[in-house]
Amino acid sequence: MNGELIPTTVVLFGPPGSGKGTQAKLLTEKLSLPHVSTGDMLREHIALGDALGIEVREVIKAGNLVPDHLVIRLVEDRLNRPDCKAGVLLDGFPRTIDQARMLLGMAEGRGLRLLVIHLKVDYDVITARLTGRRICPQCGTLYNIRLKPPIVPGRCNIEGSRLIIREDDKESVIRQRLVGYDAQTMPVLEFFAEHVKFFEVDGSDRKPEDLSNEIVNWIQTTITDEGSASGEGL
């Protein structure tokens, strides 16, 4: 797929632990789109200990959403960088109706196509995934102590570094994140259903590679159909 020619914003949408991060890693290469994860950006600020990091640390640790004005400013700044001009792969944004409005306005203003992928996953599967999740602090590779263990327990297969547990992956915090998802983020789906094309896939029991191929196929077909409907090629 020739990603450079496609000015498309792809949104990976789904509950915590639905596999957005894993899919984003695969799709960013297949689609040649930069990966923008609000969760990763916020965690970088926390690690730096700057003003934003200090402001959001406790909110994230408690499993709540960071206020819209902070996240929207962060995303606007990121999307204004040159590498995002021809499109972007968004992971974890938007999560509220106001964030979705901002994104829709920006996509329309820039003439970008907006496509949404909804990863649906059973909440039992999510809890099992998140309570066992471990991350390499150096390369970001994700493991799961039960479902996808590293070769040497507690160590990254690639870097050899000691794997870490995210502060918000404790069981009580996971529950809070799911409550927030139901209350604040699910309504965004209805908003999207009215305004943009979206694709729903069940990610509960699928190989990540197969799932990413299915997503790429849908994106490719949608873009081709739009191109033929408007008489334009890619």
* Residues engaged in binding ligand ADP (CB under 6 A): 16-17, 20, 38-39, 42, 59-60, 63-66, 71, 92-95, 99, 168, 177
Cβ nearer to ligand ADP, comparing 16 with 203: 16
* Neighbour-count burial for 154-163, b at 16+ CB within 10 Å, e otherwise: ebbeeeeeeb
Return the active site residues: 20, 95, 133, 166, 177
Residue nearest to ligand ADP (CB): 39
**Residue 65 Cβ, how far from ligand ADP at the closest point, in Å?**
4
**Residue 63 Cβ, how far from ligand ADP at the closest point, in Å?**
6
Q: What is the Cα–Cα distance from 219 to 197, expressed in whole angstroms? A: 10
Give, rounded to a whole angstrom, the gap between the first and last alpha carbons of the chain.
11
Between β-strands 87-91 and 113-120, what pairing exists: parallel, antiparallel or unpaired? unpaired
SS3 content of the chain, % helix, strand, coil (to 5): 55, 15, 30
Cβ nearer to ligand ADP, comparing 173 with 219: 173
Helices within the chain (DSSP H only): 20-31, 38-48, 51-61, 68-79, 97-110, 123-131, 171-180, 186-195, 208-229
**Residue 94 Cβ, how far from ligand ADP at the closest point, in Å?**
6
Cβ nearer to ligand ADP, comparing 1 with 53: 53
Reference 16, options 62, 63, 72; nearest CA is 63
**Residue 161 Cβ, how far from ligand ADP at the closest point, in Å?**
20
Cβ nearer to ligand ADP, comparing 118 with 177: 177
